[in-house]
Each structure stands twice: as structure tokens, then as C-alpha cells.
A and B are shown apart, each in its own frame.
Chain A
Amino acid sequence: MVTWLTIIGMGVITYGIRLAPIVLLERFALSSALRQALKFVPVAVLSAIILPELIMPGGGVDVSLANGRLLAGLLAIFVAWRTKNVLWTIVVGMVALWLL
């Protein structure tokens, strides 16, 4: 019962976060400064997820050739830069991880 209550509460919170700005914007217009800041949100948040995944896969910082995720990630960054293609980035990154 507690588990179900937890899950439903998590759902309500998540939905509220996603919905509130869309509905409340009717009354609260965004300033241009805030709009400028929001432009950086995807790059900043996703980079904050990516870098720890690459340089601290085991929980501690590991910048060495023994870190397969770092090497595969660097190769994936290169592929993403050259091809601008998410699929190729994933394929090359996963194959590199398995081979390294």
C-alpha cells in the first residue's frame, strides 16, 4: 500500500512540475533574461549527467586509459561532432565500450 502511495505521489509531483509553467504562463510572462537563460538548460543539464558517467563510472574519478567508458565516451563525442547523428554516436560508443 505504501509503495503504491509512493509511486502515485511521485507521479503527481512529476506531472505538476511539467504542467505548472505551461498553464501558469497565461498569467506570468517570461522575461527575455529568463528566456535567454533557458536556452542553456538542455546543454547544461545533459552535460552534468554525461561527464560524471564518463570520468567516474565506479563512483570515484578515474582519468586513465583503464577507464573504458571515458575512452568510448570521447570517441562518441568525436562521432557526434562529425556526424551529428545520435544513432551512430550510440552504436560506435557501445562497440567501443565492448572492445576496450
Chain B
Amino acid sequence: MMQEPAISAEEPGRQAEWWAGVKSQLPIALGVIPFGLIYGVVALAAGLTPAQAQAMSAIVFAGSAQFIGAELMGKGAPLPVLWLTTLVVNVRHLLYSAQLGPDLQHLSRGWRFLLAYLLTDEAYATTAVHYADQQTPLTHKHWFFLGAGMMLWLTWQTSTAVGVFLGAEIPASWGLDFALALTFIGIVVPLLTTRPMLAAAVVAGVTAVLAHTLPYNLGLVFAGLAGIGVGVWMEKQ
């Protein structure tokens, strides 16, 4: 038998990358668990059956779209409105996918179809940081993506299931929904190392507040574009 080539510290193997991906999601999972619990509770309150609530977590697998979807279904919104809302709320994933895409071109079709399914805000956050790290070679980085995606998937499905069964037992006064905003703060703040990044964050945040009255979460889309525009413009100065 041929001996496996020694893996240097600079080039982590598949298992090491996969585990690093799983571990990168651990702190984020803590912020996601309450969100999944609350989603389970909200979905039942909106009139979904436990099977439908759980299936939405598996099929859609996108927190904010699921929350808004459950709410709109409860209000009896027509199907085209629900689909349009999903498109608008999740269009940001197009940009995540486009950013990671070039680094995934060497992978098989199966890998890319699987990783696309696992491309959530949370998995993207740690995976994008890992891909940006030029110290580690590209060879096995998709295993990191897989580990992060699987960890987040498991956390989301499990917390949804617990939320569905706990039902309305969790009092809203605990304010557990706030844990998601805190998670995003923990991700964004360390990235604000340059003036263009800081400007992008401030402009996007202020625009989102000013544009919050726009329907279908369009304010979020405009705010994101405004932040990106200012960041690019400042970098050219």
C-alpha cells in the first residue's frame, strides 16, 4: 500500500477542514437555537401543522424567509405574494453564491448542488472568512464549507423540532429573538477594520431604518445596495 502523503500544518486535510467548519458554527449555533425554537412556536401559532413547520425548515432552510412566510400564510396572503417575498428576502444569497462561486468551480456538480443547499447567512459568514484566508490552500476548503453547513443544518432542524413541540411554552418576554441580532453584531463588528467597511455598515443600517416602511422587506434590499455602493465609492477615493 502507498503511504498517504504527510499533511503539513499549512495544508489541513479533509477531516481537519470539516471539523474546523463544524467548530466555526458552534458560537453561531447558540444564536440560532433560540431563533429555531421561536420559529417552531410562531409557525404553529400561524396555523401550520407540525409537519408543515418542520418541512419548511428542511425545504426552505432560510430563517428570515421562514418567519415572514409563516406570518404571511397565517394572514392568508396569496401564493404569488409569498413567493415574491421569498425572492426578495433571499436575493442576498445570490451575492453570497456569486462571491463563493469562483472558488467552487473545481468541484463536481454534486458537490456544488449540495453546498448551494447549505448556503445560509450563518454558513456563509464563517466560510467566506475561511476562503478569504490566503494562508490555507484551496484544496480542501470545501470540506470546511460542508462542516459549517451540516452543523448549521442540524442545529436548525433540531431547534425547529424542539420549538414545534414546546409550542407556546416559551414566554415572549424572554426576548430570545434578540439573540439573532446579537449574532450578526458578533459577526459584523470584527469585520469593520477599514473606513470603507465602517461606512458601508453605517449607511446600510441608517438606510434600513429610513426605508423600513417599504413593503416586502424591500428596505433591506435598498439598504444593502446603498451600503455596498458607499463602500465601493470610498475605496476608490
* A interface with B by C-beta (< 8 Å): 2-11, 13-15, 17-23, 25-26, 29-30, 33-56, 61, 69, 72-73, 76-77, 80-81, 84-90, 93-94, 97-98
The 9 closest A-B pairs by CB, nearest first: A44-B227, A51-B205, A86-B186, A11-B59, A89-B186, A48-B223, A80-B189, A48-B208, A40-B231
Query: Which of B56, B185, B191 contacts A77, CB < 8 Å?
Result: B185
Contact A10 B188, CB 8 Å, known A17-B97, A19-B113? no
Q: Is the CB of A18 within 8 A of B117?
A: yes
* B interface with A by C-beta (< 8 Å): 26-28, 30-31, 48, 52, 55-56, 59-62, 64-65, 69, 73, 79, 82-83, 86-87, 90-102, 104-105, 109, 112-113, 115-117, 119, 121, 124-125, 128, 175, 178-179, 181-192, 196-197, 200-209, 212, 219-220, 223-228, 231-232, 235
Quick one: which of A29, A61, A86 has the most chain B CB within 10 A? A86
Bound state CA distance, A62 and B97, in angstroms?
A: 36
Closest chain-A Cβ to B82's Cβ sits at a distance in Å of 5
Q: Is the CB of A49 within 8 A of B232?
A: no
Closest chain-B Cβ to A97's Cβ sits at a distance in Å of 6
Q: Is the CB of B92 within 8 A of A41?
A: yes
Bound state CA distance, A63 and B97, in angstroms?
A: 36
Bound state CA distance, A69 and B26, in angstroms?
A: 24
Bound state CA distance, A10 and B55, in angstroms?
A: 11
Q: Is the CB of A14 within 8 A of B86?
A: yes
Closest chain-A Cβ to B57's Cβ sits at a distance in Å of 10
Report chain A residues within 8 Å CB of B79.
2, 5-6, 9
